[in-house]
């Protein structure tokens, strides 16, 4: 394992599980290839056996000899020694989809929560898809209307698990028409970058940079230069006015610097180290 913080693989959901499995193969590669030790964390789903078995079969086909499922259905289960041991022994913990509120409700503040952060800081890979992606940020989208323009009250926010501070993550982004709700989220939290990740698309985060992999794109919404909004004058259900917001669309191979809030174009990356 590398020393220093590990990598995050944050997936927009519906990743390819039948074809080339580009994203899941990258998770395995980062976790140590054939020597990877992957724990499939099914805390987000109410169908842990079915969902866990699917991922165990997929990772097994990719070539991972040591892959196991760990489910947390109560907070007490997140505090037992076997839970901590599972995290301590893993080179990757993979969070499945489901409901991101279940993740924070069942893991937040537990021994497993502390162990996950500790192991990530020591170099473990942390991956998550769909709900497992949303929970990565310090502030997460809990629910919200899709296929609408930005409005007051269409998105509900809550604290996330804080693996990736300074962002708000939305998933199934283009496929479910979630532009309006992510714009509404960053209007309320303009110090956060909004990251809309398409299906079968992921960002690989290393330090202050991320790179896009997969077949779709990542939309980065930056309200840091917001010049005007009617946020304080409107009521629930009213349309939002947002002026001066910047948006970047990044397909596979493109990179972004989080602290600088700027894409890393080809000429910018000549002298930087690869995040993956």
The arithmetic mean of pLDDT across residues 208-223, rounded, is 98
| Residue 225 a catalytic site member | no
**If DSSP states are collapsed to H, E and C, what string results for the chain?**
CCCCCCCEEEECCCCCCCCCCHHHHHHHHHHCHHHCEEEEECCCCCCHHHHHHHHHHHHHHHCCCEEEEECCCCCHHHHCHHHHHHHHHCCEEEECCCCHHHHHHHHCCCHHHHHHHHHHHHCCEEEEECHHHHCCECEEEEEECCCCCCECCCEEEEECCCCECCEEEEECCCCCCCHHHHHHHHHHCCCCEEEEECCCEEEEEECCEEEEEECCEEEEEECCCCCEECCCCCCCCCECCEECCEEEEEECCCEEECCCCEEECHHHCCCCCCCC
| Catalytic residue check, 73 | no
Catalytic residue (one of 199, 209, 219, 254): 199
| pLDDT at residue 267, as a whole number | 63
**Mean per-residue pLDDT of the chain:** 95
Which residue segment(s) compose the domain that 135 sits in? Answer: 8-257
Residue 266: per-residue pLDDT? 73
Predicted local distance difference test score (pLDDT) of residue 2: 46
- Condensed to tens digits (0 to 9), the pLDDT of residues 246-276 reads 999 999 999 999 999 999 987 655 555 555 4
41 in any annotated domain: yes
Q: What is the pLDDT of residues 76-92, one digit of tens each?
A: 999 999 999 999 999 99
What pLDDT, on the 0 to 100 scale, is given for residue 271? Answer: 52
Average pLDDT score over residue span 7-18: 98
The stretch 219-231 carries a mean pLDDT of 96
Kindly indicate the confidence band of residue 1, based on its pLDDT and cuts at 50, 70 and 90. very low
The residue annotated as part of the active site, out of 15, 26, 130, 211, is: 130
Examine residue 104 and state whether it is found in any structural domain, yes or no: yes
What pLDDT score does 270 carry? Answer: 52
Q: Is 78 a domain residue? A: yes
Q: Residue 222 falls within a domain, yes or no?
A: yes
Q: Is residue 140 part of a domain?
A: yes
Is residue 271 included in any domain, yes or no?
no
Give catalytic status of residue 199 as yes or no: yes
What tens digit of pLDDT does each residue of 123-180 get? 999 999 999 999 999 999 999 999 999 999 999 999 999 999 999 999 999 999 999 9
Residue 274 lies in a domain: no
Q: How many domains does the chain have?
A: 1
Q: Which of 15, 26, 137, 172 is catalytic?
A: 172
Q: Is residue 239 part of a domain?
A: yes
Confidence at 191, pLDDT banded by 50, 70, 90: very high
CA distances for 110 relative to 114, 116, 188, 225, angstroms: 7, 10, 29, 37
CATH assignment at residue 134: 3.40.50.880
Tell me the average pLDDT across 32-59: 98
The average pLDDT across 48-70 equals 97
């Amino acid at each position: 394992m590398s020393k220093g913080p590990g990598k995050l693989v944050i997936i927009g959901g519906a990743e390819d599980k039948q074809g080339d499995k580009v994203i899941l193969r990258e998770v395995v590669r980062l976790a140590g290839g054939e020597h990877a030790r992957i724990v499939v964390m099914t805390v987000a789903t109410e169908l842990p056996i079915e969902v866990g078995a699917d991922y165990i079969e997929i990772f097994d086909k990719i070539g991972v000899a040591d892959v196991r499922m760990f489910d947390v259905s109560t907070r007490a289960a997140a505090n037992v020694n076997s839970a901590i041991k599972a995290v301590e022994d893993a080179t990757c913990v993979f969070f499945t989809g489901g409901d991101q509120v279940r993740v924070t409700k069942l893991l937040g503040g537990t021994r497993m929560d502390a162990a996950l952060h500790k192991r990530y800081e020591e170099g473990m890979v942390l991956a998550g898809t769909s709900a497992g992606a949303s929970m990565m940020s310090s502030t997460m989208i809990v629910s919200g209307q899709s296929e609408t323009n930005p409005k007051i009250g269409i998105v509900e926010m809550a604290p996330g698990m804080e693996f990736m501070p300074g962002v708000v993550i939305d998933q199934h982004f283009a496929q479910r028409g979630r532009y309006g709700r992510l714009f509404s989220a960053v209007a309320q939290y303009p110090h956060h970058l909004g990251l809309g990740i398409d299906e079968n698309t992921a960002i690989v985060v290393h330090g202050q940079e991320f790179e896009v992999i997969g077949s779709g794109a990542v939309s980065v919404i930056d309200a840091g230069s917001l010049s005007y909004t009617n946020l304080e004058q409107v009521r629930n259900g009213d349309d939002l006015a947002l002026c001066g917001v910047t948006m970047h669309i990044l397909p596979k191979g493109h990179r972004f610097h989080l602290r600088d809030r700027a894409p890393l174009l080809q000429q910018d990356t000549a002298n930087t180290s690869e995040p993956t």
